[in-house]
Chain A
Amino acid sequence: MAKELIRFENITKSFDGSSVLKDLNLSIHENEFVTLLGPSGCGKTTTLRILGGFESPDSGRVIFDGEDITHLPPNKRQLNTVFQKYALFTHMSVAENIAFGLKIKGHDKDTIRDRIAYSLKLVGLEGYEDRAPSSLSGGQQQRIAIARAIVNEPKVLLLDEPLGALDLKLRQGMQYELIRLKEELGITFVYVTHDQEEALTMSDTVVVMNQGIIQQIGTPEDIYNEPQNAFVADFIGESNLLDGIMVRDCLVSLNGLEMPCVDTGFGENNPVDVVIRPEDVELDASGAGQTTGTVTSIVFKGVHWEIRVDSVIGITFLVQTTEHFPVGSKVGISVDPYNIQIMNKPSREDEQVFDQDEAPQGETYES
């Protein structure tokens, strides 16, 4: 694994008496694309602002490249930020915006001109030097904001929901551009978003946060396929989040229906949370399966149908499938053992936070 570049040590922070970060510990490595993901108020932006130097933690330390930077002001830190609302200097041209940091560092005119041209090329806006920021579209303004940050060759680029103000199509395009930029520049990206799709698309590592506590750290695949608790499962993608009893290793009971699974080590007859992704629920028109149910609704979502099935065991399954099942039809329901994810019921504080924040079953979390 690459060298550790940033370390948050036991960071706590509260605003007006309400705790925003509770004993946060996090390592970020060189050339890593780390995304802090969570609903609003989860502390992700505060974490980024502490790293940028705009907030100071109540306790704990921030280590950057082996140095304690906890109390270093933002202008002395070797990192640059891309703000959500671009934060361009409207009284300056595009070139002056980009040159702002370079001039402070005292580079000569030729170097500044070359670096402006290079950074504009990186973000695909060659020749925009003399334009006024206000004459540019939102997407172009955000690219200028990125160029203004990366032109200083920071070791880390902080991005605070930089695509939040852009429309869907532009957002998706920019996601690929950011990945490409990170490859070309070879620097660390710390990215904050509440959009789970964005996090899964771009990140090397996703840090899922809720109520000031890190819920899970892992690759996008880990986070999606192996959520560690009900919050993560529910926040990342849509899921059927069910109460189950772990009968023994590799066998879980849902309202009495025993289903084979592949998880072990949850003891015998222990209550557990069970996650089944909607795309993993298989329906059969002939009624064959582990149990049966009745289709109560079907909605066309473009790439798939979204179906709700009331099963005879009393559980409503959310199902995504490319096949069409008419409302009222009887269907068989089955789930492959590999697609059943078992999680411990919350027992520690950092898992219990989900209870206070529970979203309706099977719905994506909207922040």
Chain B
Amino acid sequence: MNRNRTRLLGVPYIIWVIGFTVIPIFFIITKAVTDGEGAFTLSNLTAIFDQLHRKALVMSVSLALVSTIICIILSYPVALILRSSRFKRKSIILFILILPMWMNFILRILAMQMIISNNGIINHILETMGLAPLKLINTPGAIILGMVYDYLPYMMLPVLNSILSIPEDVIEAAKDLGSDSLHVLTRIILPLSLSGVGSGITMVFIPSMTEFVIANILGGGKIQLLGNIIEQEFTVSMNWNLGSGLSVTLMAFVLITSFIFGRHQEDTAAGFAI
């Protein structure tokens, strides 16, 4: 009886998964391997090799890669500072880090647009100081800034969690055996926090790679990511088959990435409890 009741609890999730994951994926894959008349074709999948699409994929991967690396580099110092026993106000710092996540991410990107646009806050300050304005918006750098701004907490939390969960006596043992601080960092803290980095990569690299809203707002439509092309195929060109084909290709890319980095992340899955 107990077991049946437990099974009953799973029903809403089964409906959810079927309705919002299984059926859509089925439709996307069906669309991807057919043409407008419904005949079987692989051209939508091979379309990724077209010059325009290839360029967009390379741009997507590069921007996602750079954003992810910046997130990792920004996460470590914070995690190490928060780990140090001298630092007492861990919860306040954590709160400040998480705070932006409470706001809708498109609003955050729109705010960023206000700051870096050609007549935005930064250029306004430069102007009053008598300096030449900078071209910040509509560059790859602007998109990277937006991605880092949006996704940094998703890297910082698992990295922080994995670094905080290294027992103090393991670090003391390394020192006891003759490690200086740098050696402790490279031989103990870095390898033991890789699981957090793995989780972080999955949650920063993958959404960055499929990103199109940030590119639309901060890239001004001038920089085409694969996500933008897919969006246009569905909403402007109305070529759902091509859009689906590119989606499936991107999905394959995502699956490979998460397979590579997903192996490390089991232990930090609980990291979001913080």
Contacts and interface: CB of A to CB of B under 8 A. Distances in A.
Interface of A: 52-54, 73-75, 80-81, 83-85, 87-91, 100-101, 104-105, 145, 148-149, 152
Contacts of B179: 75, 100, 104
Contacts of A87: 167, 169-170, 172-173
Closest 5 CB pairs of A and B: A101-B177, A87-B173, A87-B169, A104-B178, A74-B175
B184 to A, nearest CB: 9
A356 to B, nearest CB: 29
A91 B170 CA distance: 11
Interface residues of B, number: 17
A190 to B, nearest CB: 13
Contact of B174 (A52, A84, A100): A100
Interface of B: 167, 169-170, 172-180, 183, 187-188, 191-192
Decide if the interface of chain A is mainly helix, strand, loop or mixed. loop
Given A90-B192, A91-B191, A91-B192, A101 B178 contact: yes
8 contacts: A75-B180, A83-B172, A85-B169, A87-B170, A88-B173, A100-B187, A101-B178, A148-B173
Contact of B170 (A52, A73, A84, A89): A89
Nearest to B169: A87
Given A75-B179, A101-B178, A104-B178, A54 B172 contact: yes
Nearest to B173: A87
B167 A75 contact: no
Given A75-B179, A104-B183, A89 B174 contact: yes
B176 A81 contact: yes
Contacts of A75: 175-180
B225 to A, nearest CB: 36
A74 B181 CA distance: 11
Contacts of A89: 170, 173-174, 188, 192
A80 B172 CA distance: 11
A101 B187 CA distance: 12
Contact of B173 (A81, A91, A105): A81
A102 B168 CA distance: 22
Contacts of B192: 89-91
B196 to A, nearest CB: 13
A145 B169 CA distance: 12
B185 to A, nearest CB: 13
Contacts of B178: 75, 101, 104-105, 152
B176 A52 contact: yes
Contact of B176 (A74, A85, A105): A74
A100 B170 CA distance: 12
Contact of B169 (A53, A73, A80, A83): A83
Contacts of A73: 175, 180
Contacts of B167: 85, 87
A152 B177 contact: yes
Contact of B172 (A74, A90, A91): A74
A85 B173 CA distance: 11
Given A81-B172, A100-B177, 10 more contacts: A53-B176, A54-B172, A73-B180, A87-B167, A87-B170, A89-B188, A90-B192, A100-B179, A104-B179, A148-B173
A80 B176 contact: yes
Nearest to B178: A104
A38 to B, nearest CB: 21
A229 B105 CA distance: 69
A81 B175 CA distance: 10
Contacts of B170: 87-89
A75 B188 CA distance: 15
A148 B177 contact: yes
A104 B177 contact: yes
A149 B170 CA distance: 13
Contacts of B175: 53-54, 73-75
A104 B167 CA distance: 21
Nearest to A101: B177
B173 A83 contact: yes
B190 to A, nearest CB: 10
Nearest to A80: B176
Instruction: Specify which of A75, A90, A148 lies most central, judged by the most chain B CB atoms within 10 Å of its CB.
Output: A75
A49 to B, nearest CB: 9
Contacts of B172: 52, 54, 74, 81, 83, 87
A6 B170 CA distance: 25
B2 to A, nearest CB: 33
A96 to B, nearest CB: 10
Contacts of B183: 104
A83 B69 CA distance: 36
A244 to B, nearest CB: 46
A224 B151 CA distance: 64
Instruction: Specify which of B167, B169, B179 lies most central, judged by the most chain A CB atoms within 10 Å of its CB.
Output: B169
Instruction: Specify which of B178, B179, B180, B192 lies most central, judged by the most chain A CB atoms within 10 Å of its CB.
Output: B178
